[in-house]
Amino acid sequence: MARPVTGIAYLGDARAFRDNAKTAEDLRLALAVLLPLEQGLSIQQTADIIGRSVSVTCSMRTRFGRVIEGLQTVPQHKQELRNRAHADLLTEARVLDEVLANASTGGVVIIPRLKPAIEAKLGKSIALSGIYRMLARHGWRKLAPDTRHPQGDPVAREEWKKNSPATWIKS
């Protein structure tokens, strides 16, 4: 025989939490409490509806009660800071605007030279690949390919162009 549903004391708080939910996770948390109490659904049915496993649904119900009683704080959401992100998108955009001010007028951007400035603005160490991903996220891209090797000899290149034989001979 299944256990009776508990949490009647949190019904009003769950309704208010549902009405003020700003994220899908907040709504799922409120529905994990409300659906068994108001609609008489089992935990398995509730888990199917909110898209979580039975064990996670039970944990959500328990966590909601502990938050309402003041024994636990409200969990932080992943939407506030992306997984493994160094900063939120607005902060990244602000830092890139400050660091790349001369690049928007046609200046050349050399990423390894910008790395210390970006790290100083964000206050943390960032890998070079992370800076490239940050630039891609905010619409920066390489506009022109390198046309020559930095250690190349322009005179030898021109000589080769002038004196190079035709690749095929017309019959």
**Per-residue pLDDT, 44:** 94
DSSP state of 165: P
With 60 as the cut, is the pLDDT of residue 153 above it?
yes
Measured at the alpha carbon of residue 136, what is the angle toward residues 132 and 138, in degrees to the nearest 5? 120
This prediction has a pTM of 0.45
| Mean pLDDT value of segment 67-88 | 69
Task: Give first-to-last CA distance, the chain, whole Å.
Answer: 94
Averaging pLDDT over each range in 4-13, 20-29, 96-105, 137-146, which range is the top one?
Answer: 20-29
More confident residue, 55 or 77: 55
The CATH number of domain 8-69, selected from 3.30.70, 1.10.10, 1.20.120, 1.10.150: 1.10.10
The residue extents of the domains of the chain are 8-69, 89-137
**Per-residue pLDDT, 23:** 85
Average pLDDT over all residues of the chain: 82
Place of tokens 């605007």: 97
| pLDDT, tens digit, 9 for 90 and up, residues 100-130 | 887 767 667 788 888 999 999 999 899 999 8
**Per-residue pLDDT, 169:** 64
User: How far is CA 58 from each of CA 6, 50, 79, 132, 136, rounded to the nearest angstrom?
Assistant: 11, 12, 23, 42, 40
With 70 as the cut, is the pLDDT of residue 142 above it?
no
**Per-residue pLDDT, 127:** 92
| pLDDT, tens digit, 9 for 90 and up, residues 33-58 | 999 999 989 999 999 999 999 999 99
Name the nearest CA neighbour of 92 among 77, 107, 82, 104.
82
DSSP output for 14-60? HHHHHHT--SHHHHHHHHHHHIIIII---HHHHHHHHTS-HHHHHHH
Check residue 117 and give left, alpha or beta (phi > 0: left; psi -120 to 50: alpha). Answer: alpha
Amino acid symbol at 13: D
With 50 as the cut, is the pLDDT of residue 72 above it?
yes
**33 close to 7: Cβ distance less than 8 angstroms:** yes
For the chain, counts of helices (H) and of strands (E): 8, 0
With 50 as the cut, is the pLDDT of residue 79 above it?
no
Neighbour-count burial of 121, counting CB atoms closer than 10 A to its CB (0-12 exposed, 13-18 middle, 19+ buried): middle
